[in-house]
Amino acid sequence: MNWSFTMFRPVNRTVGLHPKFGSLALYQILPFFVFSVLVFYLKDLLGFSWIVAAILVGSLSGGVLLILGDKPWLFFSRLISVPYVVRAGAMYQPLLEQEKQ
């Protein structure tokens, strides 16, 4: 018998769905708005130009998305080499000599 996923109806269609605004997920939009508000107040307080404020918002939002995004291992695997694990076996050899009686 040929099984396919069309034979079964999904029980809970919302499993795995995340809050979205249009096609963007909430984890992509929320840091942008938070950093935008913070940098806007810092711009007024410290007298930054709009270009500096835009660079700060872009770099902060981009950094958060790289580190805490949907697949952070794609970014971190460039920095730290992932170990290559192979299943193997070895003979047991005791480190300390046992006394023979």
User: pLDDT tens for residues 45-82?
Assistant: 999 899 999 999 999 988 887 777 666 666 666 666 66
Residue 1 included in any domain: no
> 54 lies in a domain?
yes
C-beta of residue 26 within 8 angstroms of C-beta of residue 19: yes
pLDDT digits 0-9 by tens, 3-39: 665 666 666 666 667 777 776 677 778 888 999 999 9
Percent of the chain at pLDDT > 90 equals 26
Torsion of CA 45, 47, 53, 57, to 10 degrees: -20
How much is the pTM? Answer: 0.53
> Does residue 23 lie in a domain region?
yes
Which domain, by its residues, includes 56?
Answer: 19-69
In a domain, 46, yes or no: yes
Number of domains in the chain: 1
For residue 5, tell me if it sits in a domain.
no
